[in-house]
Amino acid sequence: MSARQLSLPSPAKLNLMLHIIGRRADGYHELQTLFQFLDYGDELHFALRDDGVIHLRTEFDGVPHDSNLIVRAAKKLQEQSGSTLGADIWIDKILPMGGGIGGGSSNAATTLLGLNHLWQLDWNEDRLAALGLTLGADVPVFVRGHAAFAEGVGEKLTPVDPEEPWYVVLVPQVSVSTAEIFSDPLLTRNSPPIKVRPVPEGNSRNDCLPVVARRYPDVRNALDSLGKYTEAKLTGTGSCVFGAFPNKAEADKVSALLAETHTGFVAKGSNISMLHRKLQSLL
């Protein structure tokens, strides 16, 4: 691949737990969550332009070009770095929108890291993560690329190394609105903060699950189906439901049993994102 082109993965993430411990004066919620990556995701392709134009060549239904997080990330990096270079960008999209597995945030982070490399800006991770936070609370964890215990609105990150099992992820065909879930009057907002690192066993619940399951029957159905084989959890505020298995064979077996009634996939958990492994290989 030439120095003018670059292809990079944009991995999914899971929230292995999500506790809401309070609500701030600005309306944002204080969280504690545990992020882990999956070896599964989108693929972004970048081609250098010398004229400064940012052009996302892949169209998204219902998302105007300049509103897409990929374009916003590219333009913000261009603006703040003063770079006169641009890029054509394509994406092979497989991660669902509104699924709670970080598709948009991951795409934004891959764009920041990819263009930092392609434009030879030499920005460090801290600077890229700070820029990423202005695009969304989940962007910094993808920029840093290490499984993390997150606090605040999800931006205060402590690297952790949980087990890396295989997961079955079910993808109900509904898009869950984060704003809708966080504004639900029945949402738990007073979970006691976890003081111990890493997260102790038995603290793996997601405080958003009861609200999402009540509002979205398809998600409730997926939780019930997967729950027959393992503990079924919700990731983030999204629709995706996951369960852990000790090896690929067991995960594949359960996935096959559920395939007739549910859309989903099997993927390995990873504490170092496949994006960062790819970037390391380019150095």
Q: Mean pLDDT throughout 136-158?
A: 92
Q: Parallel, antiparallel, or unpaired: how do β-strands 5-23 and 29-49 relate?
A: antiparallel
* Per-residue pLDDT reduced to its tens digit, 216-250: 999 999 999 999 999 999 999 989 999 999 999 99
φ/ψ (deg, to 5) at 118: -70, -40
* pTM of this structure: 0.94
Residue with tokens 């605040």: 152
Catalytic residues: 13, 138
Q: Is 236 exposed, middle or buried (0-12, 13-18, 19+ CB in 10 A)?
A: buried
CB 275 within 8 A of CB 10: yes
Contact 7, 198 (CB under 8 A): no
User: At 87, which amino acid appears?
Assistant: A
For 170-209, the pLDDT digits (tens) are: 999 998 988 899 999 999 888 988 876 666 666 789 999 9
Does residue 27 or residue 125 have the better pLDDT? Answer: 125
Contact present, 56 and 43 (Cβ < 8 Å): no
- Residues annotated within the binding site for ATP are 96-106
pLDDT in tens, 108-132: 999 999 999 999 999 999 999 999 9
Neighbour-count burial of 108, counting CB atoms closer than 10 A to its CB (0-12 exposed, 13-18 middle, 19+ buried): buried
pLDDT exceeds 90 at position 260 = yes
Which residues are part of a known binding site? 96-106
**Residue 18: beta bridge partners?**
33, 206
Q: Please give the mean pLDDT across all residues of the chain.
A: 93
Q: What is the pLDDT of residue 37?
A: 98
d(CA 10, CA 12): 7
pLDDT of residue 27: 75
Instruction: Tell me, rounded to whole angstroms, the distance of Cα 182 from its chain centroid.
Output: 18
Please state the rounded mean pLDDT for residues 248-275: 98
Above 60 in pLDDT, residue 1? no
Q: What percent of the chain has pLDDT over 70?
A: 97
Mean pLDDT throughout 156-172?
95
Q: Could you tell me which of 18, 11, 22 has the C-alpha nearest to residue 237?
A: 18
